[in-house]
Structure 1
Amino acid sequence: MSTERLPSWRPGAARDAILGHLDGIGEVPVDERVAYLDNDGTMWCERPGYVQYDFFVDVLRRRAAEDPSLARRPELAAVLDDDAARIGELGLAKIAGALAALCDGLTPAEFASMVDDFVERYRHPVFGVGLASLVYRPMLELIEELRAHDFTVGIVTGGGTEFVRRISSRLYGVAPELVVGTMIGYEFGRDDRDRPVLRRTVSSMGAANEGPAKISHIQSQTGRAPIVAAGNSGGDREMLEWARSSAHGGLAILIDHDDAEREFAYRSMAATFEEAEPITAVAERLGWTTVSMADDWDQVFPSRS
């Protein structure tokens, strides 16, 4: 086994399982070699909070400075006050809808510009680094290995599709059309010169892209089923089961956050529903490949050990 393959992965059962599986797919048609990787907690750090949530909080704080009446709306007041208990009572779906509505009326180009501005300014509250330094180096190497085996690689997010599409090419080399997430709607209209224009509208926002929705959204948005999938929480369960059940013999990879020294140690859980069973227990029972961040990764981030 070449040490140049997955160089940030330590020798062990997880690395062997991944490489062994990929080396054994020679009979699978290239157009059926599809992999989907969850984003938050699988491709980049999701603690102490979701990056996309931080983006919308940034938007809210800027808008509230201009329009103080926003702070009187219960959902937005809870966010501005960082009131975790109140946010929990209201529910993430309601909070997410209220935050997403702050960008209603923006054109795709205007929203993209806001994302670019945020990414340029963003620094992780614990590590003090930008987004590119929060991506897991071993997962970037996994993408390289998948592509070496002629895989089409897509990114799946529980967050808004458009945010991740704006950064997927520069961070992962994944084209925007291969990003599947919670969909925002657009309204067609015309500008003052009678030219076509699209504007965001939360009124036609799709269901949160977690659990079974991930499968239906992957199918409806790309039409290609995975034979490899990676995730880290109960929100990824159905996607991992789907890949594992492939007629070609699929591979399901679960990232276990058990490294408090280099990242964070916690039990990954779905954001929008309660899980009946810990995802690590599901992985063991169903024969998935569980990756211990502490034991299986020699290096976690691109520029840090």
Structure 2
Amino acid sequence: MKAITCSQWLRYMTLALLIPVYAQAAEPLTSWNDGPSKASITTFVQAVTTDGSKDFVPPAERIAVFDNDGTLWSEQPMYFQVLFSLDEVKRQAPQHPEWKETQPFKAVLENDHQALAAAGMDGLLKIVGATNTGMTTEAFTANAKAWLAKARHPKADKPYTEMVFQPMLELLNYLRANGFKTYIVSGGEVAFMRAFAEEVYGIPPEQVIGTTFLTQFQPGDGNPTILRLPKLVHNDDGPGKPESVESIIGRRPLLAFGNSDGDLQMLQWTVAGNGKRFAGLVHHTDAKREWAYDRESKIGTLNKALNEATTKGWTVVDMAKDWNRIYPFDSHQDN
């Protein structure tokens, strides 16, 4: 082996010491355009993670919570779990011959959109309850994963797990790299989200909080299971979000991100804490690459939360202006 000189050794050691610095200095949030939204995020993170800063927060207290539908992935033309449930009506129909003559299931089987719309929210809740419960948690998770593996979004013709927002994936990674623990706190049903959250977002099941059905332990014959019952236990929307955060996490979040009025109370609860806090909203303004909607939308209504964000100086992410990519399969787009 050829000997190295003292000066060569010093160069190698200097390079080795600088590599972590270069890596740390690498540009974070590459799918975010430079501007106030990106700056507000990086400035906040630097302030609460820099040792010696007046705003420094210990890693154990760095809790970040995110809504899912409309915040981490798309929610149009309908919440994805509802689309899953509609498909499940058709898949499970042979085991339920009565559905052929019973609304709202009859409307789904006959593709009668008018009758389905007339059934309203009560009809959708019946569909979700009938297709998402009455089985073990393992069976439901298997059903959800099977659907996610083969179903395609009606507009993009992509798997639903690819309809996630690339900028938000980068934000999750950026926060975790800076000592944050990331949680999903969503109105979506918890078991459905747990079927994909770890693989897609890097968020493990124990850090997924959502709407829950009643469950019941079944001893079985040496093979115990957990049965999902058609009774709603907790609606994780609106005030239900800070309630579940307090009950399950036990710490007030340092950062919260949402996209609708259903996230307002979670954002209010977050910023009401002591010290520096961050509240963010994803504003769907890009009709070309995604959708544009807010105050009048029946899905993901953003009205009261948008008003409060404007009044209180929360970060409102303008999707069309602030993101140069929407989905992982998109190419970089200069705006």
TM-score by length of 1: 0.91
- Tell whether the 8 Å contact from 2:186 to 2:210 is kept in structure 1 after alignment: yes
Aligned mate of 2:254, from 212, 227, 231: 227
Q: Matched residue of 1:43: which SS? A: coil
**Sequence identity, in percent?**
33
Q: Which runs of 5+ in 2 are unaligned?
A: 1-23, 50-55
Aligned mate of 2:312, from 254, 263, 286: 286
Q: Which runs of 5+ in 1 are unaligned?
A: none
**What amino acid sits opposite 2:64 in the alignment?**
A
- Tell whether the 8 Å contact from 1:60 to 1:99 is kept in structure 2 after alignment: no
- Classify 1:17/1:59 alpha carbon distance in 2 versus 1 (closer, same or farther; 3 Å): same
2:235 & 2:112 partners in 1: Cα distance?
22
1:5 & 1:163 partners in 2: Cα distance?
30
Deviations 1:218-254 (A, max 9, x none): 2222223211000100000011111122212210010
Residue 174 of structure 1 corresponds to 203
1:156 & 1:268 partners in 2: Cα distance?
22
Residue 248 of structure 1 corresponds to 275
Aligned mate of 1:131, from 137, 144, 160: 160
Q: Report the count of equivalent residues.
A: 302
2:155 & 2:292 partners in 1: Cα distance?
14
Deviations 1:68-93 (A, max 9, x none): 31243334345445666655665425
* RMSD of aligned residue pairs (Cα, Å): 2.4
C-alpha deviation, 1:100, in angstroms: 2.2
1:37-48 alignment, distance < 5 Å: 37-48=66-77
- Tell whether the 8 Å contact from 2:163 to 2:327 is kept in structure 1 after alignment: yes
**What amino acid sits opposite 2:45 in the alignment?**
L
Q: Matched residue of 2:135: which SS? A: coil
Deviations 1:20-61 (A, max 9, x none): 011100321211100001101100011111111111111111
1:11-22 alignment, distance < 5 Å: 11-22=34-45
1:150 & 1:94 partners in 2: Cα distance?
43
1:299 aligns with 2:322: no
- Tell whether the 8 Å contact from 2:78 to 2:299 is kept in structure 1 after alignment: no
- Tell whether the 8 Å contact from 1:235 to 1:269 is kept in structure 2 after alignment: no
1:1-305 alignment, distance < 5 Å: 4-26=27-49, 27-80=56-109, 90-92=119-121, 95-191=124-220, 193-203=221-231, 205-267=232-294, 277-305=303-331
Higher CA-based Rg: 2
